[in-house]
Structure 1
Amino acid sequence: MGNRKKTAIIVAGGSGTRMQSAIPKQFMDLAGKPVLYHTITAFTTAYQDMEIVLVLPEQHISYANNLLQAFDNIPAITLVKGGETRFHSVKNGLQHIKGDAVVFVHDGVRPLVSPALVRTCYEAALSHGSAVPVIDMKDSIREVNGENNRAVDRGRFRIVQTPQTFVSSLLLPAFEQPYDPLFTDEATVVEHFGHFIHLVEGEEANLKITKPLDLLMAKAFLDLRG
């Protein structure tokens, strides 16, 4: 299979309203560095030849300069303006994929993804065309339908994480489809285009930082890693 080109599209949308913070959450401090510094470093640590496409809302581009100053050696980063939805933001990022590549699409606010998971996703995408990390549900869940609700077997469900990873020959044509509100992530787009989604085991620590408590948990996980 050889060594395929690797590009991580890191989607850093979101204004941080749930954080009650003026600073967008992807630029907040986590152990002395911006959240996005940790996210990007996981990918460049996994593979030396990783290219980073960072998709940002236009009003956050100014923060990106501070972010780049956090690196001793600035990796190959292309800054791209986001769109009105995640689908459109990712589509903007995909314009920068040239030739045959493995493409990782990752939430900027998941800074604790491990280089090992990035490598697992790469290998699985080469074998299966796609690799989407998931973890088991620990909570009991109920399905609510109007006035009624019922217990559901949580064993049949998984919690989806990122990086959602695909070979470009599969991902790029899928993103040529017209936008559908059901496209909540890349897997739904690719699945809608008629492809099977291959699941891999995600990580408990690969949490998404959306509220202040998540930042505390992320700090705790980082301390554990030492």
Structure 2
Amino acid sequence: MKKFAVIVAGGSGLRMGVATPKQFLLLHNKPLLWHTINAFANAFADIQIILVLPQAHIYFGNNIAEMFPESAIQVAIGGDSRFQSVKNGLAFVPNDAVVFVHDGVRCLITPQLIQACYTQALAKGSAIPAVAATDSIRIADGDSSVVADRNNVRIIQTPQTFKSDLLLPAFHQPYKDAFTDEATVVEAFGERVFLIEGDYTNLKITRPIDLLIAEKILEERAF
């Protein structure tokens, strides 16, 4: 089945405390986004990548895409929300495909997890990477809070992976504030989603400490 990765990279550098958008910060002398694309290119030789970026960053995205001459990479313009950005990327996806939707700054994603998501999506229709919570969890309600059973809590990651016949129709719904990720969009369309075991090293680079951790993880993977 055809494979498409919609990589959404619309972040800024605000929480990183830098002017450079975080997807273009260097990690082991290459942009974060390069590492993300490289993982998908290594997972499947025939995967087609759709890189969704703000209009102002298209030039930089094209430069990174040119670093993968053997890969099919389409650069698309993002929207005002994650929902709209993903929808813009999905406009290039045909029917009868498996679609990975991934955060561009989750640059430590492994080809192995990508392949596992593909296999489950073929069998069940979807694969949403998730890891168990390791901290105590409390649910806040105003000035009060109640403890939650962390054994029942899962922290959601990407690539959120679906058969296109589930994902494409779901994105024709009107936007709702409750759409925090692709799984919530598909569930709102009346479809069940299925989790898959994620990877604790599949970090979303958000703050300076995350970049330091990512450097260490890549160093350990090199051995």
Give TM-score scaled by structure 1 length. Answer: 0.96
Q: Deviations over 1:47-67 (max 9, x none)?
A: 000000000011111212432
User: Hey, which bits of structure 1, 4+ residues long, moved more than 3 A?
Assistant: none
Tell me which residue corresponds to 1:202. Answer: 198
Q: Which amino acid aligns with 2:188?
A: H
Tell me which residue corresponds to 1:96. Answer: 92
Task: Please tell me the root mean square deviation across aligned C-alpha atoms, in Å.
Answer: 1.0
Question: For the residues of structure 1 that align with 2:68 and 2:92, how far apart are their CA atoms?
Answer: 25
Q: Which amino acid aligns with 2:116?
A: T
The runs of 5 or more residues in structure 1 that have no matched partner are: none
Tell me which residue corresponds to 1:35. Answer: 32
Other structure's SS at 2:15 match? helix
- Report the more deviating stretch, 164-173 or 13-22: 13-22
Indicate how the Cα distance of structure 1 residues 72 and 95 shifts in structure 2: closer, same or farther if over 3 A, else same: closer
The 5 Å alignment of 1:148-167 reads 148-167=144-163
Q: Deviations over 1:8-57 (max 9, x none)?
A: 00000111211111211001100011101100011110100000000001
1:66 to 58, 63, 66: 63
Question: For the residues of structure 1 that align with 2:117 and 2:68, how far apart are their CA atoms?
Answer: 27
Q: Which amino acid aligns with 1:122?
A: Y
C-alpha contact (below 8 Å) 1:100/1:168 kept by paired residues: yes
Question: For the residues of structure 2 that align with 1:175 and 1:86, how far apart are their CA atoms?
Answer: 12
- Report the more deviating stretch, 209-218 or 146-155: 146-155
Tell me which residue corresponds to 2:19. Answer: 22
Q: Which amino acid aligns with 1:217?
A: I
1:47 to 22, 44, 49: 44
Question: For the residues of structure 2 that align with 1:157 and 1:111, how far apart are their CA atoms?
Answer: 24
Q: Which amino acid aligns with 2:89?
A: G
Question: For the residues of structure 1 that align with 2:143 and 2:194, how far apart are their CA atoms?
Answer: 36
Question: For the residues of structure 2 that align with 1:99 and 1:156, how far apart are their CA atoms?
Answer: 35
Q: Which amino acid aligns with 2:107?
A: P
Other structure's SS at 1:79 match? strand
Question: For the residues of structure 1 that align with 2:94 and 2:143, how far apart are their CA atoms?
Answer: 51
2:182 to 171, 182, 186: 186
Indicate how the Cα distance of structure 1 residues 115 and 63 shifts in structure 2: closer, same or farther if over 3 A, else same: same
Question: For the residues of structure 1 that align with 2:105 and 2:85, how far apart are their CA atoms?
Answer: 15
Q: Deviations over 1:184-205 (max 9, x none)?
A: 0000000111111111000011
C-alpha contact (below 8 Å) 1:27/1:67 kept by paired residues: no
1:6 to 3, 6, 12: 3
- CA deviation after TM superposition for structure 1 residue 74, in Å: 4.8
Other structure's SS at 1:150 match? strand
